[in-house]
Structures are given as structure tokens and as C-alpha cells.
Amino acid sequence: MKYLYYCKKCKSTNSTENDNSYLQCPECKVQMYATHITADEWETRTAEEKEFLKKSFETIEHPVMNPIGKALKTVGWVYIGLSVIGSFMMLTEVDVAYSALSLIFGCLGGLLLLGFAEVVNLLQDIKNK
Ligand SMILES: [Zn+2]
């Protein structure tokens, strides 16, 4: 299914396979706005209806990236990275089993943060629609 995108600068429309993705206007080279209308639906509209819809597209804003979701994602990756580094540093001091255990738990902690970040970002996507 193709989704309709709108350029506020040249008032043109374009479509692509994904909703809520980055699409550049072929003429103005600026980011186009996701209208959440399918291209098929757009084709069934009359010329007047299209003009009316284009006016309503003028008020669309770009989707907001949730700062908390972004931060949690970064912290999750840092957590995993530090766990890997830490467990390798431990190798010279302690038994391999302890090092492996700290690696596993470190990665699990980081993955939990990444999972929570994903939930926050998905909720923001729902709010953006
Ligand atoms: Zn344009």
C-alpha cells in the first residue's frame, strides 16, 4: 500500500510504500509531510476534494521524536557496550564463568532499556497519528 506525502513549498504530492518515513520532495529537496492518506484513496477524490485536502495538509507538522525514548535507547546501547568492556576487563582478574555471567546480565539490562525505549517510541508514533 502506498501513502501520500505533501510538500508545503511547491504544494505537490508524492507517494511511497511506507507511512511516517522520510521522503524528500523531488523538486524542492525538502522533507515532505506524511498525510496518512493512502495513494489509492487520494486517486478516488475529485479535483475540488483534492484542493480542500491540500488546504488541510498545510497544518500538518512533522512527527515528534520522543526525547525520553531517544535517551533510553542511547543509554541502553552504552549499558551493553560498558558491560562487554567490563566483562573483558574482568577476565584477567576473575574466573571466566563470573566474567561471562556479568556479560550476560549486563546485556540483559541493556536489552530491557532498549525494549522500554521501543515501547516509548511506539507510543509516541501512536500519539503522532
Ligand atoms: Zn516541493
CB 19 within 8 A of CB 3: yes
| Single-letter residue type at 65 | M
The model scores a pTM over 0.75: no
Q: How far does the centroid of ligand 1 lie from the alpha carbon of residue 125, in Å?
A: 25
Q: How far does the centroid of ligand 1 lie from the alpha carbon of residue 25, in Å?
A: 5
Residue-level pLDDT, tens digit, the chain, 129 residues: 899 999 999 999 999 888 877 889 999 999 999 888 999 999 999 999 999 999 999 988 887 788 999 999 999 999 999 999 999 999 888 889 999 999 999 999 999 999 999 999 999 888 877
What per-residue confidence (pLDDT) applies to 65?
A: 82
Q: How far does the centroid of ligand 1 lie from the alpha carbon of residue 121, in Å?
A: 28
Which cell numbers hold the place of 98?
A: 563470573
CB 30 within 8 A of CB 9: yes
Map out the domains of the chain as residue ranges: 3-57, 67-128
Q: How far does the centroid of ligand 1 lie from the alpha carbon of residue 35, in Å?
A: 15
Helix 67-90 to helix 96-128 angle (10° resolution) is 170
